């Protein structure tokens, strides 16, 4: 199957290359702001919007007289910025239409002007992009060194674009590629339920608990206080601002790393250390020795001269082979189909509503529930599994996982669930009980064997799951579950109503 994915790594730039990247980012920012202003003027005058291609033609005419400095950067940087603006305007009008129909909550998100004070920003390049083991060739920027050797794919993929961005004085490049991967064999393991929380990032129905790194628990208050006490325009204020930016970048990286490790561990086969080592050695033994990538020479001859690729240095070849082996190890194999969960069930949480609790808003935002859901969406598809979302009103915490009795109320401070049914008397951890109830829903969905479709979820609230429904990513439609508020006496662990 063909997938579109991204590879992100850090660049190792010198001062001249940093200046060139800043020029490209500034050109992209200027083109975006200029295009937004032109769109507003045209819309007020004619009542219609102007396309990105028309804006690009106008910008090319301005280059000759008013904007000669734009010839110092690649034409792709302002062109892609105008395309992003076009997409932002389409998203705004689409959300405004949905809001008018009552199908969208929150602001429609009108595009705003970009400011250099909020960061240097980013720019996207297309065209002749060539990737090497230790470097990458970008239009107008030339060959840029990479800090990580062998991570970016050098062959076997179709490169769509390269995005360069700056974070806390560090520059990163993101490659968007299309690559062919083997069709994953359907997972046949036991379904799992995943209960997300603050104290524990993810509690699984099989007993596995993934700790929350709580990345925001740092010295942010002290750093903000130090910044506010520095005189504006002073060098000390610049130092304090850079230190605060580095801290925020580290927080984001810690959170992102924890979410990727958690979602990968939940969707992939859980191999032991010995099994993983044996499979890694088996994959490494089948790979050929990596060779240096040689760019074809340009000449007047219709047949280009292709030079034979020389072998890589021993240290570099070892690093490249390790990256290739790990990439193949992460793919779904038929031998471990029984070790991968066939179905994963998450709750359809109202994150914005949960953040209205001012005492927990910061901790809830620190977890990254939306990003966890987005990553589970595509990683389950890559591993041949299905992803279901339980109804927002499903009482996974209040319901007993043994007898199905539902409590009327359960305070957040009660960390141990005690069943009120005298015939049951189950005493269990609150999060484990919720995960078991979610796993029971997965078992019911697989046992029902309904040919009817499920509703697809694409993330970011654009295709919200309806009240009382489960969502499966492989099909379309909806499967109804009774709501806790509509039918309080229903045993939710027995049936799914279509």
- Model pLDDT for residues 293-322, shown as the tens digit of each residue: 766 555 555 555 555 667 788 888 888 888
- What is the spatial distance between Cα 176 and Cα 416, in angstroms, rounded to a whole number? 46
- What is the average pLDDT across 230-248? 94
Angle, nearest 10°, between helix axes 76-100 and 52-65? 140
Higher pLDDT, 487 or 436: 436
- What phi, psi does 484 have (nearest 5°)? -65, -35
Q: Which two tokens stand for residue 14?
A: 């010198």
Per-residue pLDDT, 156: 86
Over residues 68-116, the pLDDT tens digits come to 999 999 999 999 999 999 999 999 999 999 999 998 888 999 999 999 8
Rounded to the nearest 5 percent, the helix, strand and coil shares of the chain are 40, 20, 40
Q: How buried is residue 88: exposed, middle or buried, by Cβ count under 10 Å (0-12/13-18/19+)?
A: middle
343 shares a domain with 276: no
262 shares a domain with 276: no
Q: Which two tokens stand for residue 227?
A: 């910044």
86 shares a domain with 156: yes
Please identify which residue in the block is written with the tokens 């102007």: 50
Higher pLDDT, 151 or 299: 151
249 shares a domain with 133: no
454 shares a domain with 411: yes
Decide if 14 contacts 143 (C-beta within 8 A): no
Residues in the chain, total: 498
Q: Which two tokens stand for residue 429?
A: 């951890």
Please identify which residue in the block is written with the tokens 């083991």: 133
245 shares a domain with 356: yes
- Does a structural domain hold residue 105? yes
- Does a structural domain hold residue 359? yes
**Least confident interval from 28-42, 379-393, 416-430, 433-447:** 433-447
- Does a structural domain hold residue 203? no
- Does a structural domain hold residue 191? no
130 shares a domain with 71: yes
Give the structural domain span for 284: 272-291+313-331
Q: Which of 160, 180, 200 is the last residue of a domain?
A: 180
Residue 51: other Cβ atoms inside 10 A: 14
Q: Which of 157, 180, 203 is the last residue of a domain?
A: 180
User: Would you give the distance in Å from CA 129 to the centre of its chain?
Assistant: 24
Query: Which residues sit opposite 11 in a β-bridge?
Result: 146
223 shares a domain with 120: no
| Domain total in the chain | 3
Per-residue pLDDT, 452: 29
Per-residue pLDDT, 447: 63
Q: In whole numbers, what is the pLDDT of the chain averaged over residues?
A: 84
Decide if 403 contacts 420 (C-beta within 8 A): no
Element counts in the chain: helices (H) and strands (E): 11, 16
158 shares a domain with 279: no
- Does a structural domain hold residue 299? no
- Does a structural domain hold residue 91? yes
- Does a structural domain hold residue 12? yes
Nearest alpha-carbon partner for 152 in 168, 129, 126: 129
- Does a structural domain hold residue 169? yes
**Least confident interval from 2-16, 79-93, 290-304, 430-444:** 290-304
Q: Which of 180, 198, 228 is the last residue of a domain?
A: 180
**Least confident interval from 69-78, 236-245, 392-401:** 392-401
Over residues 19-65, the pLDDT tens digits come to 999 999 999 999 999 999 999 999 999 988 899 999 999 999 999 88
141 shares a domain with 104: yes
- What is the average pLDDT across 485-490? 33
322 shares a domain with 424: no
Query: Which residues sit opposite 345 in a β-bridge?
Result: 193, 388
Please identify which residue in the block is written with the tokens 């927002």: 392
Over residues 340-388, the pLDDT tens digits come to 999 999 998 888 888 888 888 999 999 999 999 999 999 999 999 999 9
Decide if 201 contacts 367 (C-beta within 8 A): yes
170 shares a domain with 233: no
Per-residue pLDDT, 105: 83
Nearest alpha-carbon partner for 190 in 204, 210, 169: 204
């Amino acid at each position: 199957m063909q997938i579109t994915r991204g590879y992100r790594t850090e660049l190792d730039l010198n001062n001249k290359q940093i200046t060139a990247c800043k020029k490209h980012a500034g050109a992209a920012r200027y083109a975006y702001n200029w295009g937004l202003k032109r769109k507003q003027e045209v819309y007020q005058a004619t009542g219609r919007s102007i396309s990105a291609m028309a804006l690009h033609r106008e910008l090319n005419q301005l280059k000759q007289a008013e904007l000669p400095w734009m010839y110092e950067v690649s034409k792709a940087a302002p062109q892609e910025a105008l395309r992003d603006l076009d997409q932002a305007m389409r998203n705004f009008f689409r959300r405004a239409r949905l809001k008018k129909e009552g199908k969208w909550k929150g602001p429609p998100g009108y595009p705003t002007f970009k400011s250099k004070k909020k960061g240097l920003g980013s720019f996207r390049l297309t065209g002749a992009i060539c990737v090497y083991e230790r470097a990458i060739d970008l239009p107008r920027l030339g060959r840029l060194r990479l800090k990580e050797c062998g991570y970016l794919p050098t062959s076997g993929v179709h490169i769509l674009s390269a995005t360069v961005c700056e974070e806390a004085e560090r520059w990163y490049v993101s490659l968007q590629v299309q690559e062919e991967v083997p069709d994953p064999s359907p997972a046949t393991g036991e379904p799992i339920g995943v209960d997300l929380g603050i104290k524990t990032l993810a509690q699984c129905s099989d007993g596995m608990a993934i700790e929350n790194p709580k990345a925001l628990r740092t010295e942010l208050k002290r750093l903000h206080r130090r910044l506010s006490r520095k005189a504006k325009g002073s060098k000390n204020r610049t130092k304090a601002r850079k230190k605060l930016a580095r801290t925020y970048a580290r927080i984001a990286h810690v959170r992102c790393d924890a979410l990727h490790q958690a979602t990968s561990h939940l969707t992939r086969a859980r191999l032991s250390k010995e099994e993983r080592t044996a499979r890694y050695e088996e994959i490494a033994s089948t790979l050929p020795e990596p060779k240096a990538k040689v760019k074809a020479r340009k000449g007047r001859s219709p047949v280009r001269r292709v030079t034979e690729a020389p072998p890589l240095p021993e240290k570099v070849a070892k690093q490249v082979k390790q990256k290739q082996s790990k990439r193949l190890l992460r793919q779904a194999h038929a031998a471990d189909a029984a070790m991968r969960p066939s179905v994963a069930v998450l709750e359809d949480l109202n994150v914005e509503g949960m953040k209205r609790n001012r005492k927990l808003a910061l901790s809830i935002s620190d977890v990254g529930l939306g990003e966890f859901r987005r990553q589970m969406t595509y990683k389950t598809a890559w591993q041949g599994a299905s992803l279901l979302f339980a109804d927002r009103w499903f009482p996974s915490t209040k319901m007993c996982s043994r007898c199905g009795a539902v409590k009327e109320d359960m305070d957040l401070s009660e960390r141990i669930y005690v069943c009120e049914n005298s015939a049951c008397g189950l005493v269990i951890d609150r999060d484990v009980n919720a995960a078991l109830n979610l796993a029971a829903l997965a078992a019911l969905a697989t046992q029902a064997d309904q040919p009817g479709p499920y509703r697809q979820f694409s993330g970011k609230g654009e295709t919200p799951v309806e009240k009382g429904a489960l969502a499966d990513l492989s099909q379309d439609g909806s499967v109804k579950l009774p709501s806790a508020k509509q039918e309080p006496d229903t045993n939710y662990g027995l049936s799914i109503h279509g």
